[in-house]
Structure 1
Amino acid sequence: MHATSHLKPVTLLALLGWACALPARAAEPPADPVQPLWSLNGFGTVGLAHSDQHAGDYVFDNLQPSGTGRNRQWTGDVDSRIGLQLTANFTPQLSGVVQLVSEYRSNNRYQPLISWANLKYALTPDLSVRVGRIGLASFMASDSRRVGYSNMTARPPIEVYRLLALKESDGVDASYRTHFSGFSNTTSILYGKRTVTNTRGIDVHSTAVMGVFDTLERGPLIVHAAYQQRDVDNQNPPRGRFMSLGAAWDPGPWFVSGEWVRVSNYDGKRVQALREAWYVNGGMRFGTLAPYVTLSELRPLTDTGNIPVAQRTYAAGLRWDAARNVDFKLQWDQLHLGSNSYGTLQNVVAGTPRGGHVNVVSVLADFLY
């Protein structure tokens, strides 16, 4: 059953109030060190976004068919979602997880999607294997990109996170964790396949999805690296490649992070599109308030003969942790589109001048339950 295509502002404001009243008990780990057989947790975001560009839509990624700007002055479709996660601990070694998320999708509807569904077997405390639908650790925020409460900003920078539409893989992976000099390092390898439906209703099949991911942690430091390749049926040659490197430092009173990605794909006519993106983000905490700023950029490295996708974004925001497991965020983004580009805008009206600035204001509430 499909939900309504778009969230009305009145509905969103009602949900904002409801989010504040949510109990937080399920989001915290149980006091009993013995893990329960079943546990159910949830998360969600209720948001409104407004763009001053009326000739094109601001969207989070290219799987959203419309956004704010041309189609609607205010919309909740850019950020709003709700999710449930069921975890089962069958034995100390065998566990399973299913995550269900409803968000604005490529078919112009809100409908549930099984984002994770896998079984995990721990051969040792540091070596494990999984089989099923597995989230790809392509970015630092891959596991939390849909969990707004886990992100300091309104959303991960779109210049970086829109470059890979593939978020999950149906297959297997293995992870191994090592410990040395106070560091913890987790390396995982993955193999699988996945089909993604684009905004034109076309199924894009990715096969031979292979990835190597590494995360190094020590105290407030996290360093993450990823390499991924896959064969895509609408490319010639089919091989697409993705690599990323990121780091975050969060000692508590302040925080800073950055990430860099490079993506290589081909169209159906053997034309390579090589793109690069990065961001840096930082902020400070003053009690329950955390102001922050972000600078991000996306630029093409090859000339494909098409209108390039190039832009730089300056963002500033404020996060307020109003209650246990509830936050509110206010964020302003100013997109500087490339001089010969519409940037990441979609549904651009024919004849619209290229380049220029776009201002986006977002108000969100994130919650766990």
Structure 2
Amino acid sequence: MHQTSRWLVVAVGLALSQGAWAQNDDSRFKFSGFGTVGFAHSSEDKADVTSDFQTDHGVGASDATSARLDSRLGVQLDVKFTDDFTGVLQAVSEYAVHEDYAPRITMAHVKYRFSPKFSARLGRINAPLYMLSEYQRVGYALPWARPPMEVYNYLLPMDGIEGRYNINAGETIIGIQGFYGRIDSVKASVTAMRGIAVTADHGASSFRVSHIIGRAHYVTSDITALFDTYRNLPIPPLAAVAARLDPRSMDGSFSGIGYSYDPGNWFLRAEAIKADYAPSISGKTTSGYASVGLRHGNWTPSFTVAHVDVRGQEMPGPLDPFGLLNAAVVSNNSNRHSYSAALRWDVHSNMALKFQAMHVRNHAGAFGSLDNIQPGFVPGRGYNLVSASVDFVF
């Protein structure tokens, strides 16, 4: 049986084995949900802005205005078997990753609290990459129309095990989170994924630092055709460069650091990550954002700046007489910066309207993580992205 299936079978099996005797007690079950109906418009008509790095189509070349980027619907069932033993099952319908709206299981795990300080989860959980990983999909929980795409461009669950230990140090709560598992998706997977994250909460301040390592695999039909061809060429130096650039199996690391200050009437949030897959074509990506917002009654305006820098890929240069490998390295240049202004209006206790305008400036020669590139696309050109959405929870 596939490793992913084993994790899920164990988690669901534990839940079912404990749940039969409690099925008549409605207080043990909690049903909830969340959703976003959003539309975005891009001024770039020769490429697509996408919601996930694996998605080829979004808004832009495919459709100047589209609901693909932000719209989703999620439902969640929380089960309380005992005071210490709980379970979660979540399904989400969204266009991201799979490019259809078929509902998929995004969380399916059980959690056991061994003591007031230590707990563990087993099954499918949100990959613990960012400060907002636990509710990245829940638009209502965020001040923006979407998290900054320069950092939050992964929407992948992890199948595995996670433990968390909390330490009370005066008025500061320190959380130590360790995890091990794997990620399986359409184009990307990570095996033997393990890492640690440390959080510190003190009053209105929150701090998080993390480090993750694993074996990453990024595979598409185009990548397979390109690298299989180049690695079998009777030109040893070029074949060796292709082997180093091949992203289908690469050791990688992912590090993050973030800080949030939120006293209630305003907030400041900043986060930076570094993903290192060099010497593969994925290179070393450093990205980050800083956002500040002011809450005034039901209104929350905010402003965000973000940046992406990619380095570490080896350019074959004159070794590549066909130019295809050189072109692949160039197209992976995502260097850019952006400025966003957002406005949130809480029209109800469980509903918010949001408007957001973003200007993205791709650096010279950069493709800026855009997909579905069309003839006539100009690398390094800037574009505008405007969005309107309704977020709700129930």
Query: Please, what TM-score do these two structures have when normalized by structure 2?
Result: 0.80
CA separation in 2, counterparts of 1:304 and 1:36?
A: 58
The structure richer in strand per residue is: 1
1:334 to 343, 359, 375: 359
CA separation in 2, counterparts of 1:35 and 1:172?
A: 28
CA separation in 1, counterparts of 2:306 and 2:357?
A: 13
2:169 to 161, 176, 180: 180
2:300 to 252, 268, 290: 290
2:111 to 89, 97, 120: 120
Matched, 1:249 2:250: no
The farther-off stretch of 101-110 and 209-218 is 101-110
2:274 to 247, 255, 262: 262
- Partner SS state of residue 151, structure 2: helix
- Partner SS state of residue 36, structure 1: helix
The farther-off stretch of 344-353 and 94-103 is 344-353
By how many angstroms is 1:271 displaced? Answer: 5.2
Gaps of 5+ in 2: 1-24, 219-246, 316-328
Matched, 1:149 2:136: no
Cα deviation per residue 1:106-141 (whole Å; 9 max; x = unaligned)? Answer: 342101111111111111011011111121221011
Q: Work out whether residues 236 and 266 of structure 1, in 8 Å CA contact, stay in contact via their aligned partners in 2.
A: no
Partner of 2:233: none
Partner of 1:78: 69
By how many angstroms is 1:252 displaced? Answer: 1.1
Q: Work out whether residues 115 and 135 of structure 1, in 8 Å CA contact, stay in contact via their aligned partners in 2.
A: yes
Q: Work out whether residues 119 and 132 of structure 1, in 8 Å CA contact, stay in contact via their aligned partners in 2.
A: yes
How many residues are matched?
327
2:284 to 274, 282, 288: 274
Q: Work out whether residues 166 and 196 of structure 1, in 8 Å CA contact, stay in contact via their aligned partners in 2.
A: no
Partner of 2:212: 228
CA separation in 2, counterparts of 1:171 and 1:61?
A: 22
Q: Work out whether residues 52 and 96 of structure 2, in 8 Å CA contact, stay in contact via their aligned partners in 1.
A: no
By how many angstroms is 1:253 displaced? Answer: 1.3
By how many angstroms is 1:238 displaced? Answer: 2.5
By how many angstroms is 1:334 displaced? Answer: 0.2
Closer/same/farther in 2, CA of residues 303 and 205 from structure 1, 3 Å limit: closer
Q: Work out whether residues 275 and 298 of structure 1, in 8 Å CA contact, stay in contact via their aligned partners in 2.
A: yes
Letter aligned with residue 360 of structure 2: L
Closer/same/farther in 2, CA of residues 113 and 368 from structure 1, 3 Å limit: same
- What percent of counterpart residues are identical? 30
CA separation in 1, counterparts of 2:126 and 2:249?
A: 26
Closer/same/farther in 2, CA of residues 105 and 278 from structure 1, 3 Å limit: closer
Q: Work out whether residues 344 and 352 of structure 2, in 8 Å CA contact, stay in contact via their aligned partners in 1.
A: yes
Matched, 1:325 2:335: no
Q: Work out whether residues 283 and 313 of structure 2, in 8 Å CA contact, stay in contact via their aligned partners in 1.
A: yes
By how many angstroms is 1:65 displaced? Answer: 2.4
CA separation in 1, counterparts of 2:112 and 2:291?
A: 36
Q: Tell me which structure has the larger Cα radius of gyration.
A: 2
CA separation in 1, counterparts of 2:346 and 2:63?
A: 29
Partner of 1:22: none
Q: Work out whether residues 65 and 105 of structure 1, in 8 Å CA contact, stay in contact via their aligned partners in 2.
A: no
Letter aligned with residue 177 of structure 2: S
Letter aligned with residue 220 of structure 1: A
- Partner SS state of residue 348, structure 1: coil
Q: Work out whether residues 153 and 317 of structure 1, in 8 Å CA contact, stay in contact via their aligned partners in 2.
A: yes
- Partner SS state of residue 143, structure 1: helix
Closer/same/farther in 2, CA of residues 302 and 131 from structure 1, 3 Å limit: same
RMSD between superposed Cα atoms in Å: 1.8
- Partner SS state of residue 162, structure 2: strand
By how many angstroms is 1:90 displaced? Answer: 0.5
Partner of 2:193: 209
Matched, 1:140 2:131: yes
The structure richer in helix per residue is: 2
CA separation in 1, counterparts of 2:282 and 2:345?
A: 43
Q: Work out whether residues 281 and 313 of structure 2, in 8 Å CA contact, stay in contact via their aligned partners in 1.
A: no
Partner of 2:390: 365
CA separation in 2, counterparts of 1:237 and 1:231?
A: 7
CA separation in 2, counterparts of 1:292 and 1:44?
A: 22
CA separation in 1, counterparts of 2:138 and 2:369?
A: 23
By how many angstroms is 1:237 displaced? Answer: 5.7
Letter aligned with residue 349 of structure 1: Q
Moved over 6 A (4+): none
Matched, 1:193 2:179: no
Q: Work out whether residues 187 and 214 of structure 1, in 8 Å CA contact, stay in contact via their aligned partners in 2.
A: yes
CA separation in 2, counterparts of 1:358 and 1:87?
A: 42
The farther-off stretch of 85-94 and 234-243 is 234-243
Q: Work out whether residues 175 and 199 of structure 2, in 8 Å CA contact, stay in contact via their aligned partners in 1.
A: yes
By how many angstroms is 1:205 displaced? Answer: 3.4
Partner of 2:89: 98
Closer/same/farther in 2, CA of residues 86 and 344 from structure 1, 3 Å limit: same
CA separation in 2, counterparts of 1:49 and 1:347?
A: 17
CA separation in 1, counterparts of 2:385 and 2:212?
A: 32
Query: Please, what TM-score do these two structures have when normalized by structure 1?
Result: 0.85
1:218 to 202, 222, 238: 202
By how many angstroms is 1:303 displaced? Answer: 3.7
CA separation in 1, counterparts of 2:108 and 2:67?
A: 27
Partner of 1:240: 252
